[in-house]
Structure 1
Amino acid sequence: MDIVQSLGTVALFQCFSDEALASFVKEGGITLVHFCKDQLVAVQGELCTTLDVVLEGSLSLQSIDDDGNVFKARVLEAGEIWGATLLFSRCNHYPMQVVCDRACSIVRLKKSLVLSLCTKNREFLVGLLQIISDRAHELGLTLTKRNEQTLRQSLLDYLTQLSLQQGSNTILLPTSKKELADRLGFARTSLSREFSNLQSEGILRFRGRSVQLHISSRT
C-alpha cells in the first residue's frame, strides 16, 4: 500500500503535497499498521499517543456493560480519523476499547508530528479542530439518544437514515443484526423481537438484510 497516495485522498491531508507527505514518512513520523478482523486495536484505559487514520477496513469504539452487552459508540470507516479528541487532552486514555470490525490498515502519526503540522500549516490546524468539534458534538448526540430513545425509536431513526442514504424505501442493511444491535446498544434478541413487532404492525417487512420500510405506516 502506498501511504502517501492513500493519505492524499483524506480531506485533512489534502493541504500537503505528495512530496511533503513522503518526507514525513521518511522521517519516521508516520507508520502503517495492519489489524485482522476482531483484533483489539486499543484497550480501554490505554494511553493515546498517535493520531490514527483508517485507510482500509473498519473499526468500532465499543463499551461492554455488566451484562456483557456490547455498545458500539462509533464505527470508523476508511478515510476517517480517531484519537484527535484525546491526543492533546490531559485525560488522554481511551474511554472505550477499539476493535477491528473488518481487516484494516491504519496510518499512525506521532504526537510530535501532529503538533508540528498544526504550527506550520493553518489549514491542517483548522481541519483538525473541526474534526475535534464534530466528534464532541456527535458524542453528545449519541449519549442523549441512548439515554432517551427506546429501541423502537433508535431502530426506526437508523432505518430512515439508511433509506435517505440509499434513496429507496427498500433498504439493504450494511451489517448483520448482531452488529446492528451492538451499534444501537441493545441485545440482539430485543432487536429481533422489535423487527418482528414492526413487521406485524405493517411498519416494515424484512427478509435477511433486506428491509422494506413503509413510511406512510409511521405517521
Structure 2
Amino acid sequence: MEVHGLICHRDVTTGIICYRSLKQNSWDNIEFILHDDGSLTSKDLEILKANLPIKKIFLKKEADEILADYLSNYPACDSYRKKNPYGIKIFDIPLLEKNEILAYCDSDIFFFKPFKNLFSFPNRETNILLLSSEDEGYCLRPWHFFMYPGLKVISKTNAGMFCVKRKYFDLDLAEWFLSKKWPSKFLYLCDQTFWAVLAAKIGGAIWSSNQIRMPLKKDLAQLDDQYQKPLAFYFIGGLKEYIKKHLS
C-alpha cells in the first residue's frame, strides 16, 4: 500500500515520528510517496530516506515541470497550485501517480493502535473517504449555496487524511470551484472544501471520529490509559510540539 504525504522542512521530525507510527501499526505493508512543498533540503531528503520506507519523493521543482502541461488548460487550478502549497494535495497526488486507489495522510497524525484495511471503502457507492471534523471548516458561507444552486458538500469533513479512487478525481470540477471568488479570510480552507465538494458529487464517507480525531488537552492527559486511546490523533496547529516532546 502506497500512502502519499505532503512534507516541509519544518515538519521533517514530526513527519518521521507520525509516518513511522502509521507504518508500524499497519497490518498492510506501507510505502510512502512524499511531496516536497519546496522547502526540503538535501539533508532533509537523506534523513527521510534513512528513517522511512520511501518509494519516491517528488521534489517541488520536478512536480512543477510535469504538472505545467496537465494544468495548462486549467488556469484557476494552475494559479491555485502555484500560490498555495495545499494545491499539491489537490493536484499532485492524482495527477502524478497512476494507482487506482490514492491514499493520503498528513505528517501530524499519530497512530496508537494496530489496524488493517484503513484505506478501504465500506461499499461500492463510496469513492472517497475523509476524516471527521467537529465543525464546518470550509471556505463557503451560507449565501454561496444560493449563488451556486448546484453546490453541495459533505458536512463536517477534514482532508488531513483521505482515500480516493483516482478515476473519480474531477479536474473540471476543481477548475470550476477554484475559479470562484471565495472570501479571502477563508482561502486557506479551499483545498479541504474542494474534497468535500468532490465527495458530495462522487459518493463519500467519513472515518469515525472515535477512530481518528483532533485531541483536546483532556485527551492528552488520558493517553497513559490504553483503553482511552483512539486509533490516532490529528495534532494540528500548536499541538505538533506534543509529538516531539512525548511521542518520539
TM-score normalised to the size of structure 2?
A: 0.23
Greater fraction strand: 1
Q: Greater CA radius of gyration, 1 or 2? A: 1
Tell me which of the two structures has the higher relative contact order, counting C-alpha pairs closer than 8 angstroms and 6 or more residues apart. Answer: 2
TM-score normalised to the size of structure 1?
A: 0.24
